[in-house]
Structure 1
Amino acid sequence: MLTELSIKDFAIIDEMSITFDDGLTVLTGETGAGKSIIIDAVQLLAGGRGSVEYVRHGTSKAQIEGLFTLDSNQEELYATADTYGIDMQDGMMVLNRTITSGGKSICRVNGKLVTLAILKEFGKRLIDIHSQHETQSLMDPENHIRLLDLYSEKQIGNAKKEYTRLYEKLLSLQKRYNELSANEQEMTQRLDLLQFQQNEIEQANLTPDEDVRLEEERSQLANFERIYNGLQDAYNALYGEQRGIEWLGMANQSLQNSSEYDSFIAEKAEELSNHYYLVEELMYELRNYADSLQYDSERLNEIESRLYEIDRLKKKYGPSVNEILEYLGKIEEEIEQLTDKDTHLAKFEEQIAETYQDAYLEAKELHDLRQKAAKSLTDNIYGELAGLYLEKASFSISFDSKTETGTEKNVKLHRDGFDYVQFLISANPGEPLKQLNKVASGGELSRIMLALKKLFARHQGVTSVIFDEVDTGVSGRVAQAIAEKIYQISRQSQVLCITHLPQVAAMSDIHKLIQKYEKNDRTATVVEELSEKEKIDELSRMITGTKLTETAKEHAREMLALASNYKQSTQ
């Protein structure tokens, strides 16, 4: 769960640190106090898109840090940390996000710098944010297949990975086929260019690592005098009277003279003797190498000329000789394809057909798994909808596919298989099932998404679920039902909820009030955890709007009592 959230210089927040506990935490406050800003901060922490607009005016950077405590059963999270070499200790994880006024975004996980994509990988396993905007995503049928796959992610995930691999391969083959079968004029021009490049590289007669060897030889010739003098000086320091090898010989002889009287001296005498012969051998090798060196100014000119030619080719075809030769191999293969286009087109057609068939079989398996998931989701969602006063609603998941016409009719594959999935609903008895966007009101959409979230909470395994004003557009007994549903989700995952409904606030385990105030002529935000008495006052304010009356306070106490009774009944 999210244990602590620290925010500094973010929007209207100057500095804030909030601690959270397990269960249901509700955040309330006047409109504009900064409730949604806190959720924005958490969203950035989970890898959301940043903006310099988030940096508090007059400061250089906005900083957000979140401490999460993890359960031992979150194997995927630990596996992800292991993949990226992130140290996990004491079941804790710290996510950090900094956005500078210059637009730079810096991400860290447990102190290690990571990319935004890696931060997002951890974020999606730790936090699930549900907002009014996400409720609207239910209106788009393209999102329905994603939601269905999410519901049965463990069963569908592996099949989807294999299908994606084959689908990417199919796209690659089709792209190469289309390129090869492009119009004749483009192919002729392409062939002329490749043959020119092939001829230019082949005429150079390059050999592997030639540039490396030539540069080494050029360095040797250009620094011949320094190399030769260095060898001679080293040899002269070792050879001759009163030189290194003679002194080593004397030391060796001295130890040999005493070796029979002392085992330590005998051991060191043998070691020194070995070193003496090694140094002597090294000395002769230095002499012989110095004698073999010859300065050849013509050879240096030849090398310079050859390296100039190689550098000219590097500018066109690659940063090294080996990469130029690798490029030559690629264009030779493409030239062969272009000169024998019909044969290669036939091969591509065969490969495309085989890959399509393999991908289709994987898509069929995906379809079968989705059908099972759809039946389970439909059965379960009826129970959840009944608890949200949509007991007379009808819900169904429709499947469709499209065909594409080529030499024969094939099912059209897309990135998620061949299924086109839609959630259909009828909110009233006797009405036909229709698309959500044609029959569902805002309040109904909120309840449907909340029902889905309740079911997904069992499958996603995230540590924290965040609801940002998902209760907009509801009231009365529906508001109470939503409060109960949110509380049920909090029994499976930590829930943080921003709300304007007193029914939801009354159901909280912890109630935090967000207020804004002026500090040094600037607007700032503060979060305060409410006591039982303060909670009654806040609920009264939410009921009446402004003035706190005894009637409102009594109503608030009654709501808290009802919430307490409900919690006890579900334990």
Structure 2
Amino acid sequence: MLAELSIKNFAIIESLTVSFEKGLTVLTGETGAGKSIIIDAIFLLAGGRGSSEFVRHGEQKAELEGLFLLDNEQHQCIDKCEQFGIEVLDGMIVMQRHISSNGKSVCRINGKLVTISILREVGSHLIDIHGQHDNQVLMNQEKHLSLLDQFCHEEISPALIAYQELYEKYASFKKKMLSLSENEQEMVHRLDLIQFQLNEIENAQLQPQEDERLEEELNKLSNFESVYKKLTVSYEALQGEQRGLDWIGLAMNHLEEVSQISEELKTMYEQMSNSYYLIEELTFQMRNELDQLEFDPKKLDEIQSRLNEISQLKRKYGHTVEEILSYASVIEEEIDTILNRENHLSKLDDELKSISDDLRVEANNLTVLRKKFADQLRKQIHQELKELYMEKTQFYIEFITRKEHFKEYGVDDIAFYLSPNPGESAKPLSKIASGGELSRIMLAMKSIFSIHQEVTSIIFDEVDTGVSGRVAQAIAEKIYKVSSSSQVICITHLPQVAAMADTHLLISKSIHNNRTTTNVEPLPNQKKVAEIARMLAGAEITNLSKQHAKELLDMAKSIKYTTLS
């Protein structure tokens, strides 16, 4: 949910901080008070298109900040943030956007600088904004398939996973076939290049970890004088008459003579004896190392030359000898594939046909499942429309299935169609009439999809325009129903909707020093009555309008109680 919104120097708002609660929050107030400006701020915070026109006159930049709280550790927004390297702690996401007077934007999520596209992608999982001329997910035909899949997520998910695993193999084979079917001249150029590269690597006769061994040997030769001198001093300090090993041997012999007197002396003798033989072995190793040490300037030059050769190959083919050899193996296979292109194409074609047969079965399974749940969805939407007094409106889900046209999510394309009135032909959802009719249809669908979409905050910007009477009451109850599964923030001019609010915010404007400022006031119960009475009666509030307002609030309370129970 959106817990807090901070706005500074945005349009007519100088500085404003608004706290939001769960459930249904309504924003009411006179036209021009700044209700839609607050929604615009949320829209921009979620990655909407901004411009310098939003910056308050005379200021350098507008600053927007929103705190979102996620109560589900598995929320898809957390995965999306992790994809972009954004850390999410304790389910808190802070989104920030600064718009300068020259139109440039600076965006951050949890303190990390991000692009507007990332802000928009993360924001789409947090906020869903609907207005009178809604152009969001429900109006976008390309999103209709994903909405249906979300509706039947638990049932369709195993089938979709099985299909997509096969589709990855299918796409991989298609890509290989396309690569082998490319322009023959390009293929010849590619062959010449990788044959030259393979010859260069093979002529070098590299051995695994050769560079590491050469570096170690180079280090020894480069430090020959120091190594020889220190090793000689160490050896002579231990070996020889009246040297270190002699004295340790003397100590060991004396301890041996008294080792049977007590356990402590016996232990001391054993430790001295072990040390003696260990140091003696070390002196033998030092002697051998000294005998083998030989400074060879020619060998030093050879090692340096070989390392330079390996370094040149690393610049071209990999950071290590192993990577170079691995690359050689890859291009060797590619050379074989190009030289025997027809055979490889034939094999790929056979394998692709086999995968296509399996993929066709999985795709058909998806189509069957989708059609089954599409029928359930259609019935649920009809019920929702009936509750909104649109019982004559017919909702359809049109399937366009191209059986051999495999895509990431199957072979289906779907579109939502509506016939608002008897005798009218069904039209795509995006082309039906606007106004109150569209608002009710959108609400009917949102009542169902909000449960499955996992969006934390749904915002309705005057979606109740153009309705009144019993339809207005039905819309109010439907909006409240949506708020039971997602936080809902709603700008409304309908007293019926305002009466259903869990939180009522009054938006007003005032003038100070010849500048207009927007104010937000959370209304207690008594002031709710006055505001709803104003919405009912207009400028002049009468006792009758107040009484009507109280009746609306009492009725709303009763409906909420019935809904909750």
TM-score calculated relative to the size of structure 2: 0.81
Decide which moves more: 483-492 or 32-41.
32-41
Deviation at 1:563, TM superposition (A): 1.5
For 2:19, what is the secondary structure of its paired residue?
strand
CA deviation string 1:252-300 (max 9, x = no partner) = 7887788767656665665565455445544543453344322221112
2:4 is aligned with 1:5:
yes
Match of 1:420 in 2: 413
Deviation at 1:241, TM superposition (A): 8.5
Instruction: Give me the whole-angstrom Cα distance separating, in 2, the residues matched to 1:303 and 1:520.
Output: 82
For 1:26, what is the secondary structure of its paired residue?
strand
Match of 2:463 in 1: 471
**Relative to structure 1, is the Cα distance of residues 437 and 79 closer, same or farther in structure 2, using a 3 angstrom cutoff?**
closer
Instruction: Give me the whole-angstrom Cα distance separating, in 2, the residues matched to 1:375 and 1:553.
Output: 46
Aligned 1:115-194 pairs, distance under 5 A? 127=126, 129-132=128-131, 135-194=135-194
Q: Counterpart amino acid of 2:300?
A: L
TM-score calculated relative to the size of structure 1: 0.80
Match of 2:495 in 1: 502
Provide the identity percentage.
Answer: 41
Deviation at 1:60, TM superposition (A): 11
From 542, 558, 569, the equivalent of 2:551 is 558
Match of 1:490 in 2: 483
Deviation at 1:213, TM superposition (A): 2.3
Q: Counterpart amino acid of 1:475?
A: V
**Relative to structure 1, is the Cα distance of residues 8 and 467 closer, same or farther in structure 2, using a 3 angstrom cutoff?**
closer
Aligned 1:355-434 pairs, distance under 5 A? 355-402=355-402, 411-434=404-427
**Relative to structure 1, is the Cα distance of residues 277 and 417 closer, same or farther in structure 2, using a 3 angstrom cutoff?**
same
Q: Counterpart amino acid of 1:328?
A: A
CA deviation string 1:472-496 (max 9, x = no partner) = 5332133322210111222344434
**Relative to structure 1, is the Cα distance of residues 63 and 464 closer, same or farther in structure 2, using a 3 angstrom cutoff?**
closer
Retained in 1: the 8 A contact 2:35–2:491?
no
Match of 2:39 in 1: 36
Instruction: Give me the whole-angstrom Cα distance separating, in 1, the residues matched to 2:517 and 2:341.
Output: 69
Instruction: Give me the whole-angstrom Cα distance separating, in 1, the residues matched to 2:247 and 2:496.
Output: 97
Match of 1:445 in 2: 438
Match of 2:91 in 1: 93
Match of 2:474 in 1: 481
Match of 2:203 in 1: 203
Q: Counterpart amino acid of 1:18?
A: S
Instruction: Give me the whole-angstrom Cα distance separating, in 2, the residues matched to 1:545 and 1:230.
Output: 101
Match of 1:406 in 2: none
Match of 2:294 in 1: 294
Instruction: Give me the whole-angstrom Cα distance separating, in 1, the residues matched to 2:518 and 2:236.
Output: 80
**Relative to structure 1, is the Cα distance of residues 257 and 468 closer, same or farther in structure 2, using a 3 angstrom cutoff?**
farther
Instruction: Give me the whole-angstrom Cα distance separating, in 1, the residues matched to 2:442 and 2:504.
Output: 24
**Relative to structure 1, is the Cα distance of residues 313 and 3 closer, same or farther in structure 2, using a 3 angstrom cutoff?**
closer
**Relative to structure 1, is the Cα distance of residues 513 and 250 closer, same or farther in structure 2, using a 3 angstrom cutoff?**
farther
**Relative to structure 1, is the Cα distance of residues 323 and 88 closer, same or farther in structure 2, using a 3 angstrom cutoff?**
closer
Decide which moves more: 299-308 or 542-551.
542-551
Instruction: Give me the whole-angstrom Cα distance separating, in 2, the residues matched to 1:140 and 1:527.
Output: 34
CA deviation string 1:35-81 (max 9, x = no partner) = 2156347x64xxx57989899966898654333445xxx76779969
Structure 2, unmatched stretches of 5+, are: none
Decide which moves more: 551-560 or 184-193.
551-560
Deviation at 1:205, TM superposition (A): 1.5
Instruction: Give me the whole-angstrom Cα distance separating, in 2, the residues matched to 1:273 and 1:8.
Output: 81
Match of 1:405 in 2: none
Q: Counterpart amino acid of 1:484?
A: E
Q: Counterpart amino acid of 1:67?
A: L
**Relative to structure 1, is the Cα distance of residues 448 and 227 closer, same or farther in structure 2, using a 3 angstrom cutoff?**
farther
CA deviation string 1:16-40 (max 9, x = no partner) = 362524x323344533674215634
Instruction: Give me the whole-angstrom Cα distance separating, in 1, the residues matched to 2:206 and 2:464.
Output: 72
Deviation at 1:427, TM superposition (A): 0.5
Aligned residues between the structures: 548
Instruction: Give me the whole-angstrom Cα distance separating, in 2, the residues matched to 1:116 and 1:245.
Output: 75
2:17 is aligned with 1:16:
yes
Match of 1:407 in 2: none
**Relative to structure 1, is the Cα distance of residues 394 and 221 closer, same or farther in structure 2, using a 3 angstrom cutoff?**
same
For 2:415, what is the secondary structure of its paired residue?
strand
Instruction: Give me the whole-angstrom Cα distance separating, in 2, the residues matched to 1:61 and 1:271.
Output: 75
CA deviation string 1:90-124 (max 9, x = no partner) = xx52223456789675545xx99999999999977
Instruction: Give me the whole-angstrom Cα distance separating, in 1, the residues matched to 2:355 and 2:142.
Output: 25
CA deviation string 1:205-232 (max 9, x = no partner) = 1222222222232233223334334444
CA deviation string 1:443-479 (max 9, x = no partner) = 333322322221124444x373422316153321333
**Relative to structure 1, is the Cα distance of residues 395 and 59 closer, same or farther in structure 2, using a 3 angstrom cutoff?**
closer
Instruction: Give me the whole-angstrom Cα distance separating, in 2, the residues matched to 1:265 and 1:499.
Output: 96
Deviation at 1:399, TM superposition (A): 1.2
Q: Counterpart amino acid of 2:144?
A: H
Instruction: Give me the whole-angstrom Cα distance separating, in 2, the residues matched to 1:88 and 1:446.
Output: 35
Instruction: Give me the whole-angstrom Cα distance separating, in 2, the residues matched to 1:87 and 1:151.
Output: 30
Structure 1, unmatched stretches of 5+, are: 403-409
Q: Counterpart amino acid of 1:446?
A: S
Instruction: Give me the whole-angstrom Cα distance separating, in 1, the residues matched to 2:55 and 2:289.
Output: 66
Decide which moves more: 5-14 or 548-557.
5-14
**Relative to structure 1, is the Cα distance of residues 325 and 488 closer, same or farther in structure 2, using a 3 angstrom cutoff?**
same
Instruction: Give me the whole-angstrom Cα distance separating, in 1, the residues matched to 2:292 and 2:320.
Output: 30
CA deviation string 1:353-407 (max 9, x = no partner) = 12222222111111011011101101111110111121110111121223xxxxx
Decide which moves more: 182-191 or 389-398.
182-191
**Relative to structure 1, is the Cα distance of residues 301 and 371 closer, same or farther in structure 2, using a 3 angstrom cutoff?**
same
Q: Counterpart amino acid of 2:461?
A: E
For 1:182, what is the secondary structure of its paired residue?
coil
From 44, 66, 69, the equivalent of 2:68 is 66
Instruction: Give me the whole-angstrom Cα distance separating, in 2, the residues matched to 1:527 and 1:208.
Output: 71
Deviation at 1:238, TM superposition (A): 5.6
**Relative to structure 1, is the Cα distance of residues 167 and 239 closer, same or farther in structure 2, using a 3 angstrom cutoff?**
same
For 2:504, what is the secondary structure of its paired residue?
strand
Instruction: Give me the whole-angstrom Cα distance separating, in 2, the residues matched to 1:10 and 1:212.
Output: 61
